[in-house]
Amino acid sequence: MTQPYPLLFQPEFKERVWGGRALERFGLTPPEGHIGEGWMIADHPNGTTTVVNGELAGKGLDQIREELGKEWFGSKGFSEKNGRFPLLIKLLDCNDNLSVQVHPTDDYEGLPKGELGKTEMWYVLDAKPGAKIIYGLKDGVTRESMKAALENGTVMDTLREVSVEAGDTFYIPAGTVHALCAGVVVAEIQQNSDTTYRIYDYDRPGLDGKPRELHIEDSLNVTAFEGSGATTMKTGGLGAGEWLQIAKSPYFIVEKGIVDGSWNLNTTPESFTILVVCDGSGKLGWNGGSMEIKAGQCFLLPANLGAYTLEGKATVLRSYLPE
């Protein structure tokens, strides 16, 4: 019987036309090229991560899901729609602007078979001076006015731009028009989905030299023109040993915490816990072991792990499933 322990995975790296090399700053070793995404914890047909530590080293998250099931992931640790791990954890390096995009809800009829909708959140790890993102629509934009703006080349005039700095968080429910822009590195917690509808891509060529596909009709269909419930917040000034809830959705809860010294914590039987180390370093201890932790690492703590301890000086995100 395998005793529960924190799982660390080999990331799946994705080359993107907007990517760069910033993930190397977290001690990661992406392949050559414009690397935009590190899929840190993933159980998806387009990328599945493999454990690199402990007794389960070499096994994919999909294998662990099948073999250890609800005992490790918790009574709510599966997508009811496709049986897979319910979340996808990424680090994103935005060396250039991402396409302007929007994601569907779970019940959109145009979803690929077996695919989920995509509600997500961002935590800004680093941002160059003057960096910004696109986050929602300007007041009064309708399906008709956006369609007209797409046809006459003025769609950027319909979008809301927001300046960003490290520590900012953005909750992006399905239906929110959004785009990360150049100079931003973020941690992304999202539903386990790879469905994105591109509205606009700056008329640039993709990695193959051809324009990337746009999805105008799907985008207009899924955009929440009346508002999606998107929220943003600054997270500075947080004291050590307390959690600040920075995103709450039907699919995940995300909290930010500051480790300064030793912090005793617990998992619950209902849900696994995901820890993202945003900065700093220290140790993660549990009954039966301990390991060094550093910025850029993402750990999957089984629901049945129980008590664990964080030590050192670090900023962490804690994600789990809502009740």
Average pLDDT of the segment spanning 168-178: 98
**Is 160:232 a contact under the CB 8 Å cutoff?**
no
Alpha-carbon distance 286 to 297, whole Å?
Answer: 17
For residues 188 and 105, membership in a common domain is answered with yes
For the chain, how many structural domains are there in total? 2
Burial call 301-321: b when 16+ CB within 10 Å, e when fewer: bbbbbeebbbbbebbbbbbbb
> Are the C-beta atoms of residues 257 and 298 closer than 8 Å to each other?
no
Q: What is the mean pLDDT of residues 127-152?
A: 97
Confidence of residue 149 (pLDDT cuts 50, 70, 90): very high
User: Residue 272's closest CA among 63, 10, 105, 68?
Assistant: 68
- Same domain as 105, residue 15: yes
Is 306 found in the same domain as 171? no
pLDDT at 82 over 80: no
Read off the tokens for 71. Answer: 């005992």
Q: Which CATH number do you get for residue 15?
A: 2.60.120.10
Judge whether 198 counts as a catalytic residue.
yes
Cα torsion 252, 253, 258, 264 to 10°: value is -90
Within this chain, do residues 104 and 169 fall inside the same structural domain, yes or no?
yes
In which band, very low, low, confident or very high, does the pLDDT at 114 lie, cut at 50, 70 and 90?
A: confident
Which structural domain range is residue 140 located in? 7-233
Domain end residue (candidates: 200, 233, 266): 233
Q: Are 158 and 225 in contact (CB under 8 A)?
A: no
pTM across the whole model? 0.96
Query: Residue 1 pLDDT > 80, yes or no?
Result: no
Question: Are 169 and 288 found together in one domain?
Answer: no
Which residues are documented as binding site? 103, 120, 178
Average pLDDT, rounded, for the chain: 95
24 lies in the same domain as 170: yes
What SS3 class is residue 82?
coil
Q: According to the model, what pLDDT value does residue 49 have?
A: 98
- What is the per-residue DSSP string for 177-221? -EEE-TTEEEEEEEES----EEEE-TT-B-TTSSBPPP-HHHHHH
Which residue, 166, 200, 233, sits at the end of a domain? Answer: 233
Of the residues 198, 204, 212, 318, only one is catalytic, namely 198
Q: Within this chain, do residues 107 and 248 fall inside the same structural domain, yes or no? A: no
Q: HSE on the CB side for 249, CA within 13 Å?
A: 25
Can you tell me the mean pLDDT for 78-103?
92
- Checking if the pLDDT of 318 tops 80, the result is yes
Q: Are residues 221 and 251 part of one domain?
A: no
User: Percent of the chain, pLDDT > 90?
Assistant: 93
**One domain for residues 251 and 194:** no
For residues 113 and 260, membership in a common domain is answered with no
Backbone angles phi, psi at 24, to 5 degrees: -65, -25
User: How many percent of the chain have pLDDT more than 70?
Assistant: 100
238 within domain boundaries: no
**Nearest partner of 116 among 82, 164, 90, 89, judged by Cα:** 82
Examine the domain organization and report whether 136 and 268 are in the same domain.
Answer: no
pLDDT single digits (tens) 245-287: 999 999 999 999 999 999 999 999 999 999 999 999 999 999 9
Q: What is the pLDDT of residues 6-45, one digit of tens each?
A: 999 999 999 999 999 999 999 899 999 999 999 999 999 9
How far is CA 309 from each of CA 269, 295, 321, rounded to the nearest angstrom? 17, 17, 20
Do both 111 and 153 map to the same domain?
Answer: yes
Quick one: pLDDT at residue 9? Answer: 98
The residue out of 209, 233, 257 marking a domain boundary is 233
